[in-house]
Amino acid sequence: MYATVVSTKVKGKAELLILCEDEALKGPHCGFCTAARGSKGKAPQESVLARNTCGAKRGDRVQVSLAGHAELKAALILFIIPMLIFMSALILTSSLQLPLWQSFGVSLASLIITFLMIKAGLGEKTYYVIDQVAPQPKPLRHK
């Protein structure tokens, strides 16, 4: 998938604007076009944060990929860990002989605190990686 560098940030990261072109629909790509509209065609542009491993600068067109096991890591961080903490808090509070509504309230509070800690700790975390600076398309010349 291709993107344009909007800005470069410290710590080797860059903000990208994902480019989805009709040509990309023929080969493997992120599927953002079809997910955004439900069909082929122009889709809203998506801005993401990526590791800038090749030193791309603002305005460069770059080739972007997902790091290995990105989906599994994201699911673990965003779904499995909070669910385990919620269930653990529910079991712990119910073993303290608290009424069900209080157990649920404490468990829900622990879930909210977990999400806030994840957001604070992983605010700049990204699984996108800039592979290379792509060659700029040449303008067509009329004869």
Tell whether 79 and 97 lie within a shared domain: yes
State yes or no: pLDDT of 113 exceeds 90.
yes
- For residue range 67-97, list pLDDT tens digits in order: 777 778 888 888 999 999 999 998 898 888 8
pLDDT in tens, 11-56: 788 888 877 665 555 555 555 554 445 445 555 567 778 888 888 8
Taking the C-alpha atoms of residue 63 and residue 139, their distance in angstroms, rounded to an integer, is 20
Query: Which helix (H) or strand (E) element contains residue 5?
Result: strand 2-9
Q: Are residues 26 and 40 in the same domain?
A: yes
Stated as kind and residue range, the H or E segment containing 113 is helix 100-121
Please indicate, yes or no, if residue 81 is contained in any of the structural domains. Answer: yes
Q: Residue 122's CB: how many other CB atoms inside 10 A?
A: 12
The model carries a pTM of 0.55
In this structure, the answer to whether residues 76 and 24 fall within a common structural domain is no
| Shared domain check, 61 and 128 | yes
Tell me which residue of 141, 96, 133, 87 sits closest to 114, measured CA to CA: 87
Which structural domain, as residue segments, surrounds residue 128?
2-68+124-133
Task: Give, as one character, the DSSP assignment of residue 76.
Answer: I
Q: What is the pLDDT of residue 107?
A: 92
